[in-house]
Amino acid sequence: MQKSVAVLGSGSLGSIVAEGIVKDLAGSWRLLGVVARTFSHAQDLAQRTGCVAFADVEAMLHEKPDMVVEAAGVAAAREHAEKILASGSSLILLSCGALADESFVVHLKNAAQRGGSVLHIPSGAIGGYDLLRTLAFRQKQLRARGEEAPLMVRVDNFKNPHSLAGAPGLAGFSPATLEENREEVFAGSAREAIRGFPKNVNVAVGAAVASAGIDETRVTITSDPELVENVHKVTAEGFGVRAVMEFGSMPDPENPRSSTMTAWSVLALLQELASPVRYF
């Protein structure tokens, strides 16, 4: 039986998701509609995909979608995620940089419990969430027994300076110098990373929340003018396990801060949720 899904955001990622639902997942999911900050943009996407353009999130929730996909940025996630979950609609959250705020995460959990909904965090531009969650479970298990449970997680990000343009964390760095030289522009915790690079490190925050924690996960960002793809290297070590995972993906032509793989991960997740066989 088809379930209904709505998309919050009509940019490059939201468009790929909406079009993919219609073209590739129609047997399991029905695209109910789209909503965006600019109504005319939602109308354009709705016309291309044959669905409804909602005037606002409240109008969307009035139609009670089974699932909402957020692809509108951290600010929109913070504004709308709680009420979406509390309404009874489950939520796929792409802007997981919002999860760097633990109090916000608590609000989301409580809202999901009240609404009987589920918050889904897709893998986005990386993989390995299954391993990270397994190690996080083992850490929690050992701590509950009063045992030491050290878990090291590190996310190294390598990006072309054009992908980092406008980030507050680049203050003090010369754009001309970055255009010519490979340079590490940030090193610190995942919490500090999202403050300085709010549109660039959703990957790092997602990995941190899924594993060692937002303050315990170390993040670096390196600007490299010779790179044509975004590269993320995730290293995790603990409990006799060591994993080094490197992922490279081309930035979206319309939004160099994001990868089209992020949108594909949403479509893959929707397919997984509708399947009688699921891979953790």
Q: What is the pLDDT of residues 176-219, one digit of tens each?
A: 889 999 999 999 999 999 999 998 899 999 999 999 999 999 99
Strands 67-70 and 152-159, how do they pair?
A: unpaired
Tens digits of per-residue pLDDT, 38-68?
A: 999 999 999 999 999 999 999 999 999 999 9
Nearest-angstrom CA–CA distance, 130 and 151: 15
Would you say residue 257 has pLDDT above 70? no
Tens digits of per-residue pLDDT, 88-109?
A: 999 999 999 999 999 999 999 9
Nearest-angstrom CA–CA distance, 220 and 195: 13
Q: Find out whether 149 and 143 touch, Cβ atoms under 8 Å.
A: yes
Nearest by Cα to 210 from 128, 116, 148, 267? 128
Nearest-angstrom CA–CA distance, 245 and 233: 6
Q: What is the pTM of this model?
A: 0.92
Here the tokens at position 261 are 């793989």
- What confidence score (pLDDT) does residue 250 get? 82
Nearest-angstrom CA–CA distance, 142 and 239: 10
Pick the catalytic residue: 62, 107, 120, 232? Answer: 232
Would you say residue 277 has pLDDT above 70? yes
Here the tokens at position 267 are 């479509």
Q: Find out whether 120 and 257 touch, Cβ atoms under 8 Å.
A: no
Nearest-angstrom CA–CA distance, 266 and 275: 14
Nearest-angstrom CA–CA distance, 279 and 130: 9
Beta-bridge partner residues of 81: none
Residue 232 falls in the annotated catalytic set: yes
Would you say residue 75 has pLDDT above 80? yes
Instruction: State the pLDDT confidence band at 280, using cuts at 50, 70 and 90.
Output: confident
